[in-house]
Structures are given as structure tokens and as C-alpha cells.
Amino acid sequence: MKRKSQQGIALIVVLWFIVLLSILALGFSRSVRTEIRIIHNLVEDARARHLAEAAVQKGVFELLHPDNEDLELLLYGAENSFDFDGQQLSYAIQNEQGKVDINNATDEVLVNLLTVLGVDSTAAAEITDAIGDWRDENDLRRLNGAELDDYEAAGLETVPTNAPFINIAELQQVMGIDGDLYRKMEAHVTVHAFSEGINPLFAGREVLQSLPGVSESEVDEIVASRDRFSEGEAIEPFPLLTGVESTLSTEVGPLFSVKGKAILSSKAVSVRNLTIWVTDSNLDSPYHVMDSRSGEIPAAKAEEE
């Protein structure tokens, strides 16, 4: 009887040992699968970054070696898509003269742009004054703006530089501009136009709508004309804006933004932005990079979304 009791206890011990080993094996299996997935996502993110770089370089090449005499009509940020090794890539080229220069734009244009991007009128006025306080040379606070004391009171680490913006990424430090608003503004603003005027030939719809006094029908006509041109239809004459001459510019180049984007089958997304100065063809380098920005949606996050 005693022997049977000992055998029963031994059996229970063995069973518990098997259960413990099973739990350990299951945990190890999950850990291995997690590590494999992490490595896979890292590889996909790296692929996306390199493919986005390839896409932006294709855009630079197309800008420097145009096969269309009317290339300037295509320099308004329209995406040009192509496949590479089964992945979806695209590039877009825009003349910086078609964007709102945050160092030189009038308050009215800035307010209008923010409103077009979905900011309410009160917040748009506050952000515009905060931008003005950031870039002006004094510590005098605008009516709805923000100076040193306001940033310190809000517990912010950054304070106005009282100098022109060096790049558009600096906008993220301005009071009232969060990450979501910056991402909305990013494609429509620049520090490389060096003018308060905007060339409508290169401006996107949102920038065209921000011009004081412009009519919606004129904006629609310009956008539609460019779309038809990009599809191969000749446009002559190109529609013009009327009554807004004081906010317009006829400048062309020499600074351009080139955006490269890669969307992988794994859902990883990477974007590469270059702002380049196209130099004289007689110089050693055909262009110089003035600004560079990158952004990714990791494969893991994209899968969750």
C-alpha cells in the first residue's frame, strides 16, 4: 500500500514536471515568434527607407533631365507612381515658389492657409501671431502671439528665436502647433521662396485657396487644367487669377522640393523629402541639398492600424 502511494506521488510529480515543461516550451515558442516578427518588421522598415530614397533620387533625376518642354506645369506636387520589384513607389516635385514662405508671408495668407487646413479662425489668428513673434527681432508680444514669458509659463523647453525660421521643422516648436497640424502644413510651407508672393503655376489647391480674394471657381479651373495637362492634354492659354496680383509671384526656381514615398506590401511606409537648389549646369554638382527630412510608418504599427 505504501509502495502504491509512493508511485502515485511520483506520477503526480512527473505530470507536474511535464506541465511545467509545456509551459516553458510555449513561452519560448511565443518569444521566438515575437523576435522573428520584430526582426521582420525591422527589415521591412529598412527596405522602405531605402526604397523611399530610391524614389526621391528618381524624382531628382527627372527634374534635372526633363523630357517635357512644359515641365514647369508639372512642378506643383503631383504624385508620379511606379512599381519597383513589386513595391509601390512614387515621387513628387514642386517648385518652392508655389508654397507659403513662413518667413515672408503676410498674416492674411497664413491665417487663410491655417483655416483651409481646418484650424478655426481664433486659433488661426493666435498661431499666425505666434509665428510672427517667433521670427521677428523683438520681444514685444503681438495681440494674440507668444513670447518668452508665454513659453516659460506653459512649461515649454523651446522659446522664440527672434530670427527667421531656418527650416520648416522649426514650426513644431511654435506655441499652438502640434504634430498633427505640422503634418498638415508641411507640404504647403517653405523657407526657400524668399518672397511673400506665390506663383500660382506651382501652388497646390490649399495654397491657392489661401490667396486673399481668390474665387473657388478660379482655383478649380487651375487645378483641373493642370490635371488635364499631366494626362497629356495641351493647355493654352493657362488660366490666370484675377484681382490678387499683389500676392502673386512670377519667380521660377531655383529651389525645388522632391518627395519620395515607398509603400511596401507589408504595409511599411517611408517618406523622404529633399529641398534642393538646382545650380548652373557648368558647376561640378548639378544641385545642392538645402534640407532633408524623413518619416516612416513602421510595419508593425501599420499592421495594427
Same domain, 114 and 81: no
Domain count, the chain: 2
Lookup result for grid cell 499666425: 128
What is the separation of C-alpha 5 from the centre of its chain, rounded to a whole number of angstroms?
Answer: 73
What is the span of the domain harbouring residue 138?
105-185+205-246
Domain with residue 237: its CATH number is 1.10.40.60
Same domain, 150 and 129: yes
pLDDT by residue for the chain (305 residues), tens only, comes to 555 566 666 667 777 777 777 777 777 677 767 776 777 778 888 899 999 999 999 999 999 888 766 666 678 888 899 998 889 999 999 999 999 999 999 999 999 999 999 999 999 999 999 999 999 999 999 999 999 999 999 999 899 999 999 999 999 999 999 999 999 999 999 999 999 999 988 999 999 999 998 889 989 998 888 888 777 676 667 777 777 777 888 888 799 999 999 999 888 899 999 999 998 766 678 899 999 988 765 554 444 44
* Kind plus residue range of the DSSP H or E element containing 297: strand 287-297
Same domain, 109 and 174: yes
Specify whether the CB–CB gap between 190 and 257 falls below 8 A: yes
- Residue 267 is placed in which grid cell? 504595409
Q: For position 89, what pLDDT does the model report?
A: 95
- Crossing angle between the packed helical segments 107-116 and 121-135, to the nearest 10 degrees: 130
Measured distance CA(10)–CA(4) in Å, rounded: 10
Same domain, 231 and 275: no
For 300, what's the count of Cα atoms within 13 Å in the CB-facing half-sphere?
11
Residue 195 placed within a domain:
no
Lookup result for grid cell 549646369: 281
Residue 114 placed within a domain:
yes
Q: For position 304, what pLDDT does the model report?
A: 43
Same domain, 213 and 288: no
Same domain, 242 and 256: no
Same domain, 269 and 148: no
The three-class DSSP label of residue 135 is helix
Q: Count the Cβ atoms, other than its own, within 10 Å of residue 28.
A: 10
Burial class (CB in 10 A: 0-12, 13-18, 19+), 173: middle
Who contacts 50 (Cβ-Cβ below 8 Å, separation ≥6)?
none
Q: Count the Cβ atoms, other than its own, within 10 Å of residue 208.
A: 22
Residue 191 placed within a domain:
no
Same domain, 273 and 242: no
Give one DSSP letter per residue of 243-269, joined into a string. S-GGGB-----SEEEEEEEEE-TTS-E
Measured distance CA(73)–CA(99) in Å, rounded: 15
Q: For position 136, what pLDDT does the model report?
A: 94
Measured distance CA(130)–CA(24) in Å, rounded: 58
- Residue 117 is placed in which grid cell? 487646413
Residue 235 placed within a domain:
yes
Specify whether the CB–CB gap between 290 and 275 falls below 8 A: yes
Same domain, 209 and 114: yes
Q: For position 54, what pLDDT does the model report?
A: 94
Q: For position 22, what pLDDT does the model report?
A: 75
